[in-house]
Amino acid sequence: MVRQFSTNMKNFALISLFLFMLIPSEMLFAQTIVAQVSHAEFYSVENGPYLELYFSIEGGSLTYVQNDNSKFQAGAEILYMLREGDSVRTFDKYLLKSPEAEDSSGVWLNLIDVKRSLIAPGNYTLEVTIRDINKEENEFSTIREITISKPSDRISFSDIQLLDRVTQTTIDNNFSKNNMEMIPYVINFFPTNKDELMFYVEVYNNHFLRDGEKFLLYASIRDYDQKVITGPLNTTSIMTAQPVNILLQRFNIRDLPSGNYYIVVEARDQQNKLISEQNLFFQRSNTNPIAADSYLFLMDIANTFVDTISNYRLEYLLNAVRPIATFNEEIAMDNSIERNDPLLMKQFLLNFWIGQNITEPGITFEGYMKVVEVVNNRFGTQMKYGFDTDRGRVYLKYGPPREMLIQHHESGMKPFELWQYYTLLDQRNVKFVFFNQDLVTNDFILIHSDLRGEVHNPEWKARVAD
């Protein structure tokens, strides 16, 4: 059976790449609605195919006003229609309101909703418009082509639905199905703060298997080239055939490196022969510390910027990123150097720079190495590269200082430099003091800084006194 993997992400508006469930009040005056819309196709044995539409509107992008209860509230008018040619097959227009808030200084929850529509197989155009009811010019719109499939005479799958959270329920509402309330996760992008990937999928058996017959259901996360990720990201379930079987699956993706992946679900018979499969593309951006070797062996370096790097340069390039690497990344880096494994070194570099820029890691790498060249020229010594010196580390990690006081030939004092940053991290007026103890080399040692976590010595002036 030929496997076809689609990169159709079924998302209509990746307006904001990072979706957080709490939106700060600073976004109250946004001029454009920030929204995501996605869909999934399912099948009802009684009624035929139906479409689920998922809406997520960032609360901070709406306008909040006082209502009749003297509470602050926002609302969005949602209009959607499904066209088949010139004919409108499904149409709805309704109001979705936010929870009431006591004042306008809080944080605003996203507005999330689900709509279901029975729809015959065919090709459709979905049009969605979302308007801020308190600010008419504030709106969002999108258009998407959708194909509803005909029922298969074999085992088949619904679309894979990403979920934010699931709870058991006996209450019937827009989010409930199979005695579960399922809150959708509306985009196919998982930032660092999203440690869990959860999804729901249905398996339809149109008399291909006898009721009660056993079959296997495999679920896995695979990289872009379909390599199976082993361990906790690969599960097998023995299913008993029914008209509809369901799979609710959770994967812990905390240590999954940045990159492009597929969720893949396969149905196989008792001889492990593939019957049918479904997949969904997603992206991961991960700046979490990743344990040494964790998942690095899965990184495919073919046709990436690291593929053509000469092996003799690898150790130099790894050491050059130490100033901006986390403690755990340094452990992984040291492990790859100790093994003297060029492939592992390249995999580390690729994963590291994808974590800095998921879309253009090579460009970010090249930009950083240009700064490294400047640092080597300015701060290098006969024994050290510039990035190995204290000045080089600080320059690469925190950027160039706003002001520099350079005293290399002051009478009565050893050579020293005082660097000042007006704002650094969450601190103001931060200083770094470096001094040259041997008076011969260009190696200036950091002896004092106001920045938390760096060397701190209020008596630094006594050290530079001759």
Average pLDDT over residues 143-169: 92
Residue 6 pLDDT: 41
Residue 286 pLDDT: 85
The answer as to CATH 3.90.550.10 being correct for domain 152-286 is: no
Average pLDDT over residues 66-72: 90
User: Encoding tokens for residue 188?
Assistant: 């196919």
Q: Is there a shared CATH topology between the 8-150 domain and the 152-286 domain?
A: yes
What dihedral do alpha carbons 438, 385, 448, 460 form, nearest 10°? 10
Name, of 10-19, 104-113, 278-287, the range with top average pLDDT: 278-287
Residue 293 pLDDT: 55
- Alpha-helical segments (H) within 340-410: 342-356, 361-379, 390-398
> Is the per-residue pLDDT at 12 higher than 60?
no
**213-258, pLDDT tens digit by residue?**
999 999 989 877 556 565 568 888 999 999 999 999 999 998 888 8
Q: What CA–CA distances, in Å, run from 5 to 55, 128, 277?
A: 25, 27, 10
**317-335, pLDDT tens digit by residue?**
999 999 998 877 888 888 8
In Å, how far from its chain's centre is CA 146? 26
pTM of the model: 0.62
Residue carrying the six token digits 């990035």: 387
**Residue 56 burial class via C-beta count within 10 angstroms: exposed 0-12, middle 13-18, buried 19 and up:** buried
> Is the per-residue pLDDT at 28 higher than 60?
no
> Is the per-residue pLDDT at 91 higher than 90?
yes
Mean pLDDT over the full length of the chain: 86
Percent of the chain with pLDDT over 70: 88
**Residue 299 burial class via C-beta count within 10 angstroms: exposed 0-12, middle 13-18, buried 19 and up:** buried
Average pLDDT over residues 32-41: 93
Residue 27 pLDDT: 35
CATH no. for 8-150 = 2.60.40.10
How many Å apart are CA 96 and CA 356, to the nearest integer? 37
- Better-predicted residue by pLDDT, 11 or 442: 442
Q: How confident is the model at residue 21 (pLDDT cuts 50, 70, 90)?
A: very low
> Is the per-residue pLDDT at 115 higher than 80?
yes
Average pLDDT over residues 89-118: 88
**428-448, pLDDT tens digit by residue?**
999 999 999 877 788 999 999
How many Å apart are CA 54 and CA 74, to the nearest integer? 19
The partner residues of 145 in beta bridges, in order of sequence, read 125
User: Encoding tokens for residue 219?
Assistant: 């679920």
Where along the chain do its domains lie? Answer: 8-150, 152-286, 296-391, 401-464
> Is the per-residue pLDDT at 20 higher than 60?
no
> Is the per-residue pLDDT at 23 higher than 60?
no
User: Encoding tokens for residue 22?
Assistant: 């709490």
Residue 5 pLDDT: 41
> Is the per-residue pLDDT at 271 higher than 90?
no
Q: How confident is the model at residue 292 (pLDDT cuts 50, 70, 90)?
A: very low
How many Å apart are CA 219 and CA 228, to the nearest integer? 10
Residue 295 pLDDT: 62
